[in-house]
Amino acid sequence: MIILGLSGALNHDPSAALLIDGEVVAAAEEERFVRDKHARNRMPLEAARYCLEAGNVSPDQVEVIAFPYAPISLRSPARWHYARRYWYAPDRALDALFNGNRRFRRNRARVHELGEELGINWQRTEFVPVEHHLAHASSAYHFSGFKEKTAILGVDGKGEYATTFFGCGDKGRIVKIKELYDPDSLSGVYGALTEYLGFDMLDGEYKVMGMAPYGDPDRFDLNGLIRYDAGDIEVDTRYVNTVGLRRYKEDGVGFYFSDRLVRWLGPRRNGDVAEEPYIHIAAAMQKLFEQRCLELLEFHLGDLLRETGRLAFAGGGALNVKLNQKILELDHVDELFVQPAAGDSGTALGAASYVAVQRGGSITPMRHVYLGPDYTVDQCRCALAQRSEIFHVRELVSDEQVASSAAHLLCEGHPLAWFQGRMEFGPRALGARSILGVPSSPGIADRINAQIKFRERWRPFCPSVLDRTAAEIIQTDHPAPFMTITFAVAESWQQRIPEVVHEDGTARVQVVERDTNPRYYRLLEHLETLTGNAVVLNTSLNRRGEAMVCSPQDALNMFFGCDLEYLMLGNLLVSKAQLPATADGENIERPDE
């Protein structure tokens, strides 16, 4: 069965994923193609075109288009809860009761328009809506590879009405145990405090998480923002998750917190410096988020976890890697699978997999996320030929030469742009569209932050490590292929790789396996030979505020727009300085040189 999953119902992070007989053959976010981070208010047209092309599938072969947004019955408690909690904004409350599926109808029309633009024949292709949180749940559970009974957690800002999901997966079937509804949203409160701390919601939550270790969580008591009682929460909408007239405004822009919050905590933060009191507020928010998530997890899934030891986790809240560390440290959690595209982009994948299983199919477990476009050497050469800047190129003829040349440049203290193979799906750079550095090189992180990515100096970087070395570094053999969990770094290693160890002694690690990324693996082997450490600093190939690089043209735009000196563009080593002659490859002179 050929199923095309499309996301974009919530006006951010649209994506597409193509499943053929239960295997993901392609998946990508729209932002990468249109060069607009989060691609707000768009539908995944270019991403869908890519998926069809990558799968060699014509539009008339698509049997189902799965969409992660569904109508919610008035008999459901969801709309009634929403109306009761938003009664202070009666227009919203009444709309939920009398026109509660308005957004679904609008999205259905947008999907049909998109389908027509793709060439979908709606007489043959079925449109199947899937509840948003069921799509999140499926994206985690069905791709986890867990065969036995599994606890499922979804923590998100909001779907149709649900914000948090607790369920059980067994033999492919997902059973909903409990949902929480808007405005009682853990991720919503985290997003509101993200805005208060001077960052953009949907984009800055990981910055709050990165700022938190610099602060003292006990300096501010934020417990009243999310009250917990016997497996339920209630958000204080006088302060956060506010709508209408309660919203705080600056220059005509409304935020998801109120004037009352500003009077309590002080002015909204501005600027790039991690400073008091805001570092303490970030720490307090992170602590509260972890505490409430763990309380709810214990109440609704604790007994199931003691029975199974397995948890599958998705939703935007699952990108909070510090929470994931706390979950994995629980005595009754032995295995944790976090969907690498845990945010809304991953719901295209989840909607497609949910429909596939509902129709009797099975899903191939996710072992890697290299599901985006790749480019030939000729395409890379063509992109270079269109540039007017001064540069030099060396063509390397083997994986061994690529890895060796890259490792020597890194060991000389140079950051290196690394553009290889198929692009990653999800927000993490995992050795396909990356900027690399040697984590034992003093100041390399500050240099990349300040001169290449143009982002805040206090932002941490992550390590990619060889699978046979990982357990010694992170003191566990738990799988970690996707940078979705932080781990405590062994003290002996903290001094060896200081540039990728965060303020609290942890690191968000990617464990690299040879069969999923052989060229990246070989690079790490060369670094181990040269430095004694099979570790590389790895961050996404983009500048602040930009989507991750997709094409060779994107990579070159970034390369010439920052202080990077070297770019490994497939087999082509591109340099802004003259490359000395070596035996590792052939220097290519530009036609006008």
In this predicted model, what pLDDT tens digit does every residue of 522-572 receive, in sequence order?
999 999 999 999 999 999 999 999 999 999 999 999 999 999 999 999 999
Residue 471 and residue 442 in one domain: yes
Q: Show the beta-strand stretches assigned E in 61-197.
A: 64-67, 126-129, 150-155, 162-170, 173-181
Residues 541, 566: Cα–Cα separation, whole Å: 13
Name the DSSP letter for residue 390: -
In a domain? residue 123: yes
* Per-residue model confidence (pLDDT) at position 485: 98
The total of structural domains in the chain comes to 3
Residues 383, 81: Cα–Cα separation, whole Å: 54
Last residue of a domain, one of 311, 326, 358: 358
Residue 300 and residue 384 in one domain: no
In a domain? residue 177: no
Number of H helices, E strands in the chain: 19, 25
pLDDT of 575 above 80 = yes
Residue 201 and residue 224 in one domain: yes
In a domain? residue 515: yes
pLDDT of 585 above 70 = no
Residues 503, 407: Cα–Cα separation, whole Å: 27
Residue 408 and residue 431 in one domain: yes
Residue 83 and residue 222 in one domain: no
In a domain? residue 491: yes
Stretch 155-160: mean pLDDT: 97
Residue 110 and residue 195 in one domain: no
Residues 359, 51: Cα–Cα separation, whole Å: 22
- Other residues' Cβ atoms within 10 Å of the Cβ of residue 187: 26
Residue 346 and residue 413 in one domain: no
State which residues form the domain around 460. Answer: 377-588
Residues 549-566 as b or e (16 or more Cβ within 10 Å = b): bbbbbbbbbbbbebebbb
Name the DSSP letter for residue 60: G
577 beta partners: none
pTM strictly above 0.85: yes
Last residue of a domain, one of 358, 390, 411: 358
Residues 6+ away with beta carbon under 8 Å from 391: 384, 560, 574, 575, 576, 590
Cis preceding linkage at 463, omega within 30: no
pLDDT of 590 above 60 = no
Per DSSP, the residues of 432-480 read SEEEEE-TTSTTHHHHIIIIII---TT---EEEEEHHHHHHHHS-----
CATH number for position 555: 3.90.870.20
573 beta partners: 394, 568
In this predicted model, what pLDDT tens digit does every residue of 68-80 receive, in sequence order?
999 999 999 999 9
Stretch 376-388: mean pLDDT: 97
In a domain? residue 368: no
- Name the active-site residue from 12, 38, 142, 300: 12
Stretch (H or E) spanning 350: helix 347-358
* Per-residue model confidence (pLDDT) at position 592: 46
Residue 309 and residue 391 in one domain: no
Residue 296 and residue 315 in one domain: yes
* Per-residue model confidence (pLDDT) at position 203: 87
Name the DSSP letter for residue 346: G
* Per-residue model confidence (pLDDT) at position 8: 95
Stretch 349-363: mean pLDDT: 97
Residue 35 and residue 72 in one domain: yes
In this predicted model, what pLDDT tens digit does every residue of 490-503 receive, in sequence order?
999 999 999 999 99
Last residue of a domain, one of 306, 326, 358: 358
In this predicted model, what pLDDT tens digit does every residue of 311-351 receive, in sequence order?
999 999 999 999 999 999 999 999 999 999 999 999 999 99
Decide which of 505 and 455 is more confident.
Answer: 505
pLDDT of 589 above 80 = no
* Per-residue model confidence (pLDDT) at position 591: 42
In three-state secondary structure terms, 330 is coil
CATH number for position 305: 3.30.420.40
* Per-residue model confidence (pLDDT) at position 593: 45
Residue 323 and residue 381 in one domain: no
Residue 43 and residue 116 in one domain: yes
**12 annotated active-site:** yes
In a domain? residue 175: no
Amino acid identity at 249: K
In a domain? residue 163: no
Residues 302, 246: Cα–Cα separation, whole Å: 37
Tokens describing residue 482: 């996707």
In a domain? residue 274: yes
Residues 298, 306: Cα–Cα separation, whole Å: 10
In this predicted model, what pLDDT tens digit does every residue of 278-311 receive, in sequence order?
999 999 999 999 999 999 999 999 999 999 999 9
Residues 41, 57: Cα–Cα separation, whole Å: 27
